[in-house]
């Protein structure tokens, strides 16, 4: 095991525009608990994880009310930003008090409740001799069309396309510089790897399970419940 510690950063300051509910998607109820508690729970008991920071919106009235981690001393809080990348940057600032520049930060969406322990372990193992960073991802099964005004402009070569999931893991110092660099260029990156790619690096793709969905639309909630149920059954039979 290297001396570099592993921290978790959970951006949870989104309002869930696409979901269209009054409650942000990370606070919707899934089998009796808010979605975010599953996202945090995937890491909090893991022996390789040093601590966690959760990034919350300024008008968040749900965290203290609903999360079982609200009073947890290992879960720091940081203020949200206008876009996900700004929220992540704020979370990194909060971690910088305790974490070293070459410590790993695993950024994981609050709205991804079905991360499998085996996927997390595969990502952590990949970091042991990784010079840049790595992300969980899944090869695309469908043929992908590029659209223009409702018509097909191009068909993209499927064999080279992957869906980017989280966690995405980078050294704290590198990710901070990468997000600052993207911001200076007025680019709104939608994941952490994109910011690091803009610096010319090529993060490693680690194949993960398709269970690791992001709650985005109402139909995703029963699907997440199904995946969690199946994971519990798998564990019971191990």
Half-sphere exposure of 171 (CA within 13 A, CB side): 14
Smallest gap, in angstroms, from Cβ of residue 167 to ligand C5P? 12
Q: Which residues contact 181 (CB under 8 A, 6 or more apart)?
A: 195, 198, 199
Query: How many residues are recorded in the chain?
Result: 238
Give which of 198, 218, 204, 205 is closest to 140, Cα–Cα.
Answer: 205
| DSSP 8-class letter at 184 | H
Report the DSSP beta bridge partners of residue 8. Answer: 52, 106
Cβ proximity to ligand C5P, 8 vs 13, nearer residue: 13
Residues of span 12-41 touching ligand C5P by CB under 6 A: 12-14, 26
67 binds ligand C5P per the rule CB under 6 A: no
Smallest gap, in angstroms, from Cβ of residue 198 to ligand C5P? 18
Binding segment for ligand C5P (CB under 6 A), chosen from 46-54, 64-72, 75-83, 132-140, is 75-83
Cβ proximity to ligand C5P, 6 vs 89, nearer residue: 89
Question: Of 6, 11, 38, 168, which one interacts with ligand C5P (CB under 6 A)?
Answer: 11
Instruction: For the beta carbon of residue 75, count every other beta carbon within 10 angstroms.
Output: 19
55 binds ligand C5P per the rule CB under 6 A: yes
Cβ proximity to ligand C5P, 65 vs 102, nearer residue: 65
Q: Are 193 and 133 in contact (CB under 8 A)?
A: yes
How far separated are the first and last CA of the chain, in Å rounded?
Answer: 26
Smallest gap, in angstroms, from Cβ of residue 11 to ligand C5P? 3
Q: Are 145 and 155 in contact (CB under 8 A)?
A: yes
Residues of span 87-146 touching ligand C5P by CB under 6 A: 87, 109-111
Smallest gap, in angstroms, from Cβ of residue 38 to ligand C5P? 12
Q: Which residues of this protein are in contact with ligand C5P, per CB under 6 A?
A: 11-14, 26, 55, 80-84, 87, 109-111, 190, 214
């Amino acid at each position: 095991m290297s001396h570099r510690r592993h921290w978790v950063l959970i951006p949870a300051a989104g309002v869930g525009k696409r979901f269209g509910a009054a409650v942000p998607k990370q606070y919707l109820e899934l089998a009796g608990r808010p979605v975010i508690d599953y996202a945090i729970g995937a890491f909090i008991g893991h022996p390789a994880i040093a601590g966690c920071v959760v990034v919350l919106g300024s008008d968040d009235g749900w965290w203290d009310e609903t999360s079982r981690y609200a009073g947890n001393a290992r879960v720091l809080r940081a203020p949200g930003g206008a876009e996900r990348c700004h929220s992540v940057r704020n979370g990194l600032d909060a971690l910088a008090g305790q974490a070293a520049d070459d410590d790993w930060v695993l950024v994981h969406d609050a709205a991804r409740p079905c991360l499998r322990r085996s996927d997390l372990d595969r990502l952590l193992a990949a970091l042991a001799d990784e010079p840049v960073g790595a992300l969980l991802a899944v090869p695309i099964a469908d043929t992908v069309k590029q659209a223009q005004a409702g018509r097909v402009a191009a068909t993209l070569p499927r064999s080279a396309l992957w869906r980017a999931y989280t966690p995405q893991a980078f050294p704290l110092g590198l990710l901070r510089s990468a997000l600052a660099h993207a911001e200076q260029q007025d680019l709104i990156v939608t994941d952490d790897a994109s910011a690091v790619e803009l610096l010319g690096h090529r993060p490693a793709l680690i194949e993960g399970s398709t269970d690791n969905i992001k709650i985005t639309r109402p139909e995703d909630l029963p699907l997440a419940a199904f995946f969690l149920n199946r994971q519990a059954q798998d564990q019971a039979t191990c």
